[in-house]
Structure 1
Amino acid sequence: MARMLEGFYRGLLYLAALFMVLTLVTILLGVAGRQFGFDIPGLDAYAGYSIAGALFLALPAALRSGDHIRVTLLFNKLTGTPKKIAEYWCLSVASAMTVYLAYYAIRLAWVSYTTHDVSPAADATPLWIPQLTMAVGSIGLAIAFLEDLARKVFDHERILVPSAEMARVE
């Protein structure tokens, strides 16, 4: 199961990288259009969709690698039972919040799909398409937090607080 989830997170990360490349391409097309006198309607909107897609799809992999911002000042001072309680509390709250986010991201995309909502920009893109990346990334993040919580509960502990090496980089 862990191997399958790691593959899922890696796949989302590869999609995020693809969206970063698409962001670069759309920006370069916009620059070229200004230089050579042609216009592609909605190009700015597509760059925005690509950036949002890259951000949300990279969230689970960022959590897995310890790249999310964490408050380590308190955790480094805690030991024993208070530290375990704080870790359970943080993982439980983060899991609940990300499940809530994923639910409403899915709901947003579904409502946009069923109401045929389109972008008000010149591209008139159906909004459910870019919102889908937000929903998938949110689902991935919720799964990653739930996995961390399950590992903590079943003593297959994954470190919540980054190591000293990682903390030094922050």
Structure 2
Amino acid sequence: MLTSPQPQRLDAGHAVEAEPSQVAEGWIERLCRWLCELAIVSMMVMVAAEVVLRNLFGVSLQSADELGGYLLVAVSFLSLSTCFVSGAFHKVEFIDNRLGERGHALRKLIFDAIALAFSLLLLWQLLRLVLRSFDGGDFAATILGTPLWIPQAIMPLGTAALCTSLIRAIRADIRWLGAANRRSHGQ
């Protein structure tokens, strides 16, 4: 689904239209966003509990650092698709401003295709990592002794969500490029 162009504010204060091929947040991105929000709230609760327990009772949770690290990795990977569809990644706008609509659409299509190729490569390697940890019976050398495949499994899930968002964006890019070509030929 495409979003309708809406004005956005740039740092320079110029109002610009959103790209016609910008995809809307779907259920996958929404689920990833909710999981990120849950992870962040969980980290806040753990840190607050650790502070209260240490200062008032002289006791530590002992595993807050480990769990916080796992949650931080989860937020990092699960937020990829949400950040992509919301346009939060860096853009080189001075190049886009010099391109016409067709050039802009083509540049976006090429960039999204390259990003998908690298994301698929990352997904493949992350799946190999998780399977190796699972098959090898790897555990964290910590007090919890967490089987490493459990926190590692979040990484390919977040990357797969990004790949899904990129595929949706590429489909929208192709439609945008076709429409730009028709407009430039006066059809």
**TM-score with structure 2 length normalisation?**
0.74
Q: Which residue of 2 aligns with 1:136?
A: 157
- Contact kept in structure 2, 1:56 and 1:138, CA below 8 Å: yes
Q: Distance in 2 between matches of 1:73 and 1:142?
A: 27
Q: CA deviation at 1:41?
A: 2.5
Q: Which residue of 2 aligns with 1:50?
A: 71
**Structure 1 segments of 4 or more deviating over 3 A?**
none
Q: RMSD value over aligned CA atoms? A: 2.2
Q: Distance in 1 between matches of 2:120 and 2:70?
A: 22
- 1:44-68, CA deviations, whole angstroms, 9 ceiling, x for partnerless residues? 0101111111221121111111112
5+ residue gaps, structure 2, are: 3-24, 178-187
Residue in structure 2 matching 1:118, options 139, 145, 167: 139
- Contact kept in structure 1, 2:33 and 2:79, CA below 8 Å: yes
1:44 partner SS: helix
Q: Distance in 2 between matches of 1:61 and 1:124?
A: 31
Q: Distance in 2 between matches of 1:7 and 1:89?
A: 25
Residue in structure 2 matching 1:37, options 58, 71, 90: 58
Q: Which residue of 2 aligns with 1:79?
A: 100
Residue in structure 1 matching 2:32, options 6, 12, 19: 12
Larger Rg: 2
**TM-score with structure 1 length normalisation?**
0.81
5+ residue gaps, structure 1, are: 158-170
Q: CA deviation at 1:120?
A: 2.3
Q: CA deviation at 1:33?
A: 2.9
Q: Which residue of 2 aligns with 1:160?
A: none
Aligned length: 155
Report the identity percentage. Answer: 25
